[in-house]
Structure 1
């Protein structure tokens, strides 16, 4: 049973307003909202069931913990719902970069059976294509178990960033922060 915590009353312009709405939502509505951050039913259910959260940092910490506890089935479910997004670049070499990205994505999907995921929120827009290409090339050399661990970490980071945007807070405060670029293997 969730612990009942005293929560502040929402005011117009209050940065806690999105969290207060999430805390007050029905379980089904909260789960639908959370599935927009990570398309794993068990992850969203777990976060919705542990409401209310006293502050955004508590929700982000709970999201990280739920991500670390995802099973292989949970990870597969979340990966299957991830869009095959490609970072966009313009200028000289853009066509070649996008061609290389499409080819690397195709090779990755053929090797691992799911879309390539990488959180690029910490990267400047002009770095994103290069970081994605380096990540793809590096991760194509992984064995299945190593890549599953790296993909799970990238899913955690993506979910954290999406949740932080939903809440209107910085995603990388505290120990979960790390510099731009693909996750190191084995985490």
Structure 2
């Protein structure tokens, strides 16, 4: 199973020997890298998912992407991970960019979607590629429950946790902000 930095990987922090790729926080073991989770009775390990070859986006590929620009109709994202394999050239001029259009954010109420209430610049989003688009961009969708924002920081710069499918809460201040949250993956 692919895990992301900050994702809980086990609740049994006292009975499990910590190895590389994890750390403990609030009685849980948390992944510190993008990688494959391997568990045994007494050990949890996250092995970094570095590969030698650059992954190529295809229709139905699951991606993790960072929101870089936003307007009322769409968000522009840099693709960071494609089908569990990190992209090697991630910077502002990333090799792969995606567009999340307002009509592809949700399955219902498509005409009522306000992009600013769904994603914001800096958010990390789990999405699926629905079209190869044009020469510069792939078209993405977060219309299913398992897709949406997986990591966000608040306006105060603190990490946020999902409260429900459309709200995230700042862990420190308690303030809430709107996001289209991804359904959490099981530990």
Give the TM-score band, short-chain normalised. under 0.3
Greater CA radius of gyration, 1 or 2?
1
Higher RCO (CA-CA < 8 Å; seq separation 6+): 1
TM-score normalized by structure 2?
Answer: 0.25
